Amino acid sequence: MENMLQWGLDCIRAVQNAASPPLTVVMNIVTWFGSTWFWFTLLPLVFWYVDEKKGVRLGVAVMVSAWLNITLKFLFNQPRPFWEGYDPRLAFIPEGLNGFPSGHAQATLVIWIIMASWVGKKWAYAAAALVVLLISFSRVYLGVHFPTDILGGWIAGSLVLAVYFLWGDAIERLLVRGGLRAQIIVSAAAAFIMILYNPAVSKTMQGGVEALVSPGGIVLGMGVGYALSACYTGFHSSFAGRTGAAKFLAAAGRIVIGAAGTALFFILLQKMKIVLGPGFNRFGIFIQFAVSALWIYGGAPWIFVLLKLADGKSKEGKAA
C-alpha cells in the first residue's frame, strides 16, 4: 500500500509542476462544484424548481452516497497526501477527514450522471463525464487526494448509481403502493440504519461525526417531508400557467421563503446543540439536519402552495 501511495505522491508532484496562481484559482472554483456546499445548494433548487419527484430521488441517492463515503473513510482510515509522513507541501487548500475514497469524486459522479439521465442524450453524458473528470482532477491538483482516492470514489459512486438505475423505479413503485404510513416507516428505518455505525473518532476524523450522522437525518426529514407533501399538499415544482412577472414572483418567493426558513431552522437547532452540550452531539446533529430537510421537502412546499407560489391539490384532492 505504501508503494502505491508513494506513486500517488509522484503523480501529484508531476501535476503540480504545471501549477500557477491563476490555474490554482480555477481549480478551487472547479472543486467547489463537488463540495458539500454545492449539493446542499443544488438539491433544494432541483426539488423546488425543476421536478419534485426527480429532486427527491436525486436527494436520496446523494445522501446514501454521502453516508457510504464517510463510512468507508472510517473503515479504510487512509491518509491524505499532505499528512505528516507524506508531503505537507502538496496541499493548496486545507482538508479534514481521511482521504479514501474521495467524496468529491463520488458525489460528482452520482449527481451529474443522474442529471444527465434526465436529458437522456449522448452529449449530456459526455458533459457529465467531463465535469466528473475536471472535479476529480482538481482534487489531485490541489494536493488533497491520491489518485487511488479518486478511483475509490468512482467505484463507490458507481455502486450507488447501479442501485439507483437498476432498482430505483421498483422501490419507488413499492413506496407509492404502500402509502403514507409505509413511506414514513421506510424513511425512519433507513435513517436508523444509517446512524447505527458509531466508530471511535480519531484525531483525523473529528469532523466525521457530523458527516456520518447528517445523511441519516436528511433522509428522515426528506422522506417524511416529501411523503406528507405528496399526500396533503400535492406540491408541483412546475411553473405551468405562469409567465412573465407572475413566474418571476413565484420563483423569487420560493427561494426567499425556502432559504430563509432553512437558515432559521438550522441556526435555531445549532443553538439547541450548544445548550444540550457535547453529550448530545450526535443526537443534536441528527435532529438539526432532519428538521431542516423536513422544512425543505415538506414545510416550504406547503407554504408555496398556500401562498399560490406553486400548484398543489385542490380541495377535492386533485392536482390544481
Mean pLDDT over 105-116 rounds to 98
Half-sphere exposure of 47 (CA within 13 A, CB side): 31
Mean pLDDT over 263-284 rounds to 77
Q: Residue 279 has what DSSP assignment?
A: G
Confidence class for position 279, pLDDT limits 50, 70, 90: low
Mean pLDDT over 1-25 rounds to 93
Confidence class for position 210, pLDDT limits 50, 70, 90: confident
Mean pLDDT over 166-186 rounds to 95
Q: For the whole model, what pTM was predicted?
A: 0.93
Look at residue 147 and tell me whether its pLDDT is greater than 90. yes
Report the share of the chain in percent with pLDDT over 90. Answer: 78
Q: What is the pLDDT of residues 283-314, one digit of tens each?
A: 888 998 999 999 999 999 999 999 999 999 75
Look at residue 164 and tell me whether its pLDDT is greater than 50. yes
Q: Residue 206 has what DSSP assignment?
A: T
> Residue-wise over 165-196: b if at least 16 C-beta within 10 A, else e?
eeeeeeeeeebeeeeeeebbebbeebbeebbe
Q: What is the pLDDT of residues 214-234, one digit of tens each?
A: 999 999 999 999 999 999 999
C-alpha cell, 265: 431552522
Q: What is the pLDDT of residues 39-86, one digit of tens each?
A: 999 999 999 999 999 999 999 999 999 999 999 999 998 999 998 889
Of the two residues 278 and 1, the one the predictor is more confident about is 1
User: Alpha-carbon distance 20 to 93, whole Å?
Assistant: 14
Look at residue 315 and tell me whether its pLDDT is greater than 50. no
